[in-house]
């Protein structure tokens, strides 16, 4: 009779154990981050006793088909930063501080070298966000994923005192919209980008026009993590609200944080697209599609009272992030007023 085993089916428990051991080594070398029980059944995290009425805030996300770019140029050490960023940037919009993060890596056959690179990026992202990598899961799925492919999902939990949820600064007509610079496409729109690259037969090793960097390297730039500046602005009562510009672009994401009696008016002439966004637009992406698919250079859009503009600018200097006033809020006068209005052109 033929003898069966888990390893013969394509799953290596031994390799998985070795991977966990090497992850522990990576984490132990990073003094900025504390971990709980890596390799155990569950992670434990104490909530600060100074928070009288803690409300937990959770978010989960992935990095989409940006993984394919990482695979094609064989660069996996920053995709983990993207994974953390996509979760913690959502959490910080609510004023909550990210506490911990967990990851899920699924693959056809575990490649320890690639896996370690991914984890190093996750550790770096957690360090930037000031949260703990509490644990995760690595799963081999032979027959589901090709041997050399993997997928990622991230999960993060933050906390906010209940009093800070109720303490909302009312938005009004004339409030300013400030775009906070992105590092590129972040982790959205990559299926469209890859479709264009395939149809146009563009090499990822080719250089972006008028640039010293290859298209591949520009496309793999990690998502910026905005936790520290956004929490700082909330704590100083400078920020009324903000929107994380992810899938759906400015068009879909900004209206999500604005009261129904108001709408944003965006002046597209107030900033210049970076060469990367100009390049993708020049390949056949309309202005409308750009605005509802990509962040167009603004990974986060802040909403402030115009009288706080100088405070905003002075506080933001230390974070070395470029910002620009891109519009303002207007009062709706008719029920059929659009959720967002654009003037000018990209």
Assess whether 220 and 150 both reside in one domain: no
Assess whether 225 and 321 both reside in one domain: yes
Residue 142's pLDDT is 87
CATH label of the domain that carries residue 314: 3.90.650.10
On whether the pTM is more than 0.95, the answer is: no
> How many C-beta neighbours within 10 Å does residue 129 have?
26
DSSP string of 246-309? -TTHHHHHGGGGS-TTEEEEEEGGGS---HHHHHHHHTT--HHHHHHHS-TTEEEEEEE-GGGH
DSSP β-bridge partners for residue 107: 140, 150
Residue 227's pLDDT is 98
Assess whether 28 and 119 both reside in one domain: yes
Domain of 240 in residue numbering reads as 176-343
| CA within 13 Å, CB half, 31 | 0
Residue at token pair 């994974």: 83
Indicate whether 207 belongs to any domain: yes
Residue 18's pLDDT is 67
CATH label of the domain that carries residue 127: 3.30.1330.10
Strands 132-140, 97-107: parallel, antiparallel or unpaired by DSSP?
parallel
Q: How far is CA 53 from the centre of its chain?
A: 28
pLDDT tens digits for range 232-276? 999 999 999 999 999 999 999 999 999 999 999 999 999 999 999
Indicate whether 171 belongs to any domain: no
Backbone torsions φ then ψ of 293, nearest 5 degrees: -120, -40
Can you read off the two tokens belonging to residue 136? 């995760």
What is the number of structural domains in the chain?
2
pLDDT beneath 50, residues of the chain: 31
Contact criterion met (CB below 8 Å) for 92 and 230: yes
Assess whether 111 and 219 both reside in one domain: no
């Amino acid at each position: 009779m033929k003898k069966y085993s888990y390893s013969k089916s394509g799953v290596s428990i031994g390799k998985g154990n070795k991977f966990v051991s090497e992850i522990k080594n990576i984490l132990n070398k990073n003094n900025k981050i504390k971990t709980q029980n890596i390799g155990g059944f569950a992670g434990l995290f104490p909530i600060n006793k100074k928070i009288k009425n803690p409300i937990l805030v959770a978010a989960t996300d992935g990095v989409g088909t940006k993984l394919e770019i990482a695979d094609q140029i064989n660069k996996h050490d920053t995709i983990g930063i993207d994974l953390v960023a996509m979760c913690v940037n959502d959490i910080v919009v609510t004023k909550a501080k990210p506490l911990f993060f967990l990851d899920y890596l699924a693959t056809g056959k575990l490649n320890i070298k690639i896996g370690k690179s991914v984890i190093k990026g996750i550790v770096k992202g957690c360090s930037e966000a000031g949260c703990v990598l509490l644990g995760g899961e690595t799963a081999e799925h032979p027959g589901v994923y090709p041997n050399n492919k993997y997928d990622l999902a991230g999960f993060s939990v933050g906390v906010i005192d209940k009093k800070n949820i109720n303490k909302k600064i009312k938005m009004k007509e004339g409030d300013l919209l400030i775009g906070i610079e992105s590092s590129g496409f972040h982790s959205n729109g990559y299926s469209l980008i890859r479709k264009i690259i395939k149809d146009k037969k563009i090499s990822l090793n080719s250089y972006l026009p008028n640039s010293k960097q290859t298209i591949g390297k520009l496309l793999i730039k990690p998502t910026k993590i905005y936790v520290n500046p956004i929490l700082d602005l909330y704590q100083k009562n400078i920020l009324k609200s903000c929107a994380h510009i992810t899938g759906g672009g400015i068009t879909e994401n900004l209206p999500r944080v604005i009261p129904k009696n108001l709408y944003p008016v965006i002046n597209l002439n107030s900033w210049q697209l970076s060469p990367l966004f100009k390049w993708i637009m020049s390949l056949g992406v309309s202005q409308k599609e750009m605005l509802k698919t990509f962040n167009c250079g603004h990974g986060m859009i802040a909403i402030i009272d115009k009288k706080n503009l100088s405070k905003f600018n002075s506080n933001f200097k230390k974070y070395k992030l470029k910002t620009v006033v891109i519009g303002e809020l207007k009062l709706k006068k008719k029920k059929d007023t659009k959720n967002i209005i654009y003037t000018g052109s990209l």
